[in-house]
Amino acid sequence: MSDIETIMRTAPVIPVLVIDDLAHALPLAQALVAGGLRVLEVTLRTRHGLDAIRAMKAVPGAIVGAGTVLDVPQLEASLTAGAEFIVSPGLTDPLARFARANNVPFLPGVSDASDIMRGLDHGLDRFKFFPAEASGGLPALRALSGPFGQVRFCPTGGITAATAATWLAEPAVLCVGGSWVVPKGPLDVGRVETLAREAAGLRGA
């Protein structure tokens, strides 16, 4: 397993994937990796999440993690399915303790100073800033970076192809997460690969 910082630095964008049809998992992962996005966050929002992780791991180069992990049983099930990193929308003490004790690359969500301080108490300093736009957007992230200069973020939530580069230009931002790379509706792998290629080419504006 890579550490979470290495994973965050692999690509500028982590696509957040909600799998409604398990048959889409493999072609979707192939299209994303072909476009240059190797780090894939499969949410456990649907019943296909764990099976999708198993399916996507077959794609050479893919680094597949689980998202929307809410508790330790889900974390353990994700690891069993082959998840290489774990993302959660918030930070709970049980998740942080388990991840640290078992050396699991873990990206918990934070949205304010107290969340970050709890994470630091657990030895964590790489976080998902979630929900990024609704929590105050770039001004909030910049303000949090003042007292927490050592902390690095993956802002996620409300970020688009149009705004991603501005987020990526922030020194405290290692990557961003978002669902825009996989538009809702029927799966169009050509379109996904194009959007992935554009996202993979993003640099800070």
Ligand X SMILES: O=C(O)C(=O)C[C@H](O)[C@H](O)COP(=O)(O)O
Among 68, 74, 78, 135, binds ligand X (CB under 6 A): 68
Helix (H) or strand (E) holding 16: strand 13-17
CB 37 within 8 A of CB 15: yes
Q: Is 128 designated active site?
A: yes
Distances (CA, A) of 45 to 69, 122, 170: 9, 26, 30
For ligand X, what does the binding mask look like between residues 155 and 184, x meaning CB under 6 A?
-xxxx-----------------xxx-----
CA distance 169 to 123: 26
Q: CB-wise, 68 or 78, nearer to ligand X?
A: 68
At closest approach, how far in Å is the CB of 149 from ligand X? 25
CB 163 within 8 A of CB 13: no
Q: CB-wise, 36 or 158, nearer to ligand X?
A: 158
At closest approach, how far in Å is the CB of 17 from ligand X? 10
Q: Is 84 designated active site?
A: no
CB 115 within 8 A of CB 140: no
27 lies in the binding site for ligand X (CB under 6 A): no
At closest approach, how far in Å is the CB of 202 from ligand X? 14
Q: Catalytic positions, please?
A: 41, 128
